[in-house]
Chains A and B, each alone.
Chain A
């Protein structure tokens, strides 16, 4: 009986730790999402459309690595985890707290506009094992009408969690046309 109690306690402790870890990761994900939108809004008159998630553009991360794009990062070795993007197990946890993000953005005087002529899409964030480094691709598409669409920007971004704040380390286009 004692054996089961100890086993139960260990199990409970394990799940508590896991829940705590997930809660921290969730909070960091929300902070990251907010910071990314804040950074993007800087060059866009403090206005931004809320992004959609797009899995297809994950391919650009692989191409970036293959083309030698990581060479421009100071600590290249620390970022090689993105080469393993296909095996990332983190995608499933990326449930974003939209309302919280929107509130934070409003507090930063950022206006969130509705998707109309411009569409913003993000790939899921690819995180390092310690959840302190991440990379993603965003794409802006413009719809001028006449059944046409134009890509405005397709950019790969690198963020690092430094002193409890997400900081952009590098941003570079993955395609120019």
Chain B
């Protein structure tokens, strides 16, 4: 797992992913990435059915530290794990921007991430997760997918397991899968396909890019 994290973090130096690059370059903001078992949760819906919540990873809202779910690490493909890492690093970047930036850097952050704030520039502090996913959906999916595609190339994956789309589109689907279920109002271009391809990697279903090193 940790070699995968190193690979992704290293890539941010050469990719135009401003957000994660900024997080990576900061000398004052340090985060710890670890793994732990995050048990599935069960929630009862309006019809009385038990529904399962599987958490791929979490970001601590106070420290920005990331915890990846051991169960998911054991199950997902390398690409699925890398996608989870990038997703959580984006959350950590948002926390960095909200809590640790000042002056010009703060203004730049607010301009870049307007979905996190209301029309008066007030942070959506009680609708945090939704606004962050909204922001990812609006501005970052393509660059997150580019980062993931780069990771795929460096690990010998050059074509999409879904033969109807390019590897680039396939990488976007993996991110859209999580953003679509977070009820972001900005939807995936093809939600059904994103769900299918996202599950293929996150649950290592047949026809995935398979599990190698992570």
**B-facing residues in A31-66 (Cβ within 8 Å):** 39-40, 43-44, 64
- Our count of residue pairs bridging A and B at CB distance below 8 angstroms stands at 100
User: Is the pair B128, A176 in contact by a Cβ cutoff of 8 Å?
Assistant: yes
Q: How far is the CB of A94 from chain B (nearest CB, A)?
A: 21
- Report yes or no: A172 in contact with B51, Cβ–Cβ below 8 A: no
Nearest chain A residue, comparing its CB with the CB of B127: A43
Interface range on chain B: under 10, 10 to 19, 20 to 34, or 35 or more?
20 to 34
CB-based contact A147/B61 at 8 Å: no
CB–CB B43/A149 < 8 A: yes
Is there contact, CB below 8 Å, between B129 and A43?
no
Residues of A within 8 A of B209 (CB): none
- A174 in the interface, Cβ–Cβ < 8 Å? yes
Q: Determine, out of A1-9, A18-26, A151-159, the stretch whose residues face the partner at the interface.
A: A151-159
Q: Are B53 and A150 in contact (CB under 8 A)?
A: yes
> Given known contacts A149-B52, A172-B125, is B60 in contact with A43 (CB within 8 Å)?
no
Residue of B nearest to A44 (CB): B127
Contact A175 B61 (CB under 8 A): yes
Within 8 Å CB of B130, what residues of A? 152-153
**Total interface residues on A, using CB and 8 Å?**
38
Interface of A is mostly: strand
Q: Which one of B43, B55, B57, B127 contacts A141 once the chains associate, using CB atoms below 8 Å?
A: B43
Is A148 close to B, CB under 8 A? Answer: yes
Chain A residues positioned under 8 Å from B46 (CB to CB)? 114-117, 119, 143
A173 touches B128 (CB 8 A): yes
Task: Please tell me if the beta carbons of A177 and B61 are within 8 angstroms of each other in the complex.
Answer: no
Once the chains bind, are A155 and B125 in contact (CB under 8 Å)?
Answer: yes
Say whether B63 faces chain A, with CB atoms less than 8 Å apart: yes
Nearest-Cβ distance from residue B166 to partner chain A, whole angstroms = 27
Distance of A68 Cα from B51 Cα, bound (Å): 32
Residues B117-174 near A (CB distance < 8 A): 118, 124-130, 132
Cβ contacts under 8 Å, B182 to chain A: 142, 150, 152
Q: A157 — which chain B residues lie within 8 A by C-beta?
A: 126
Which chain A residue lies CB-closest to B56?
A177
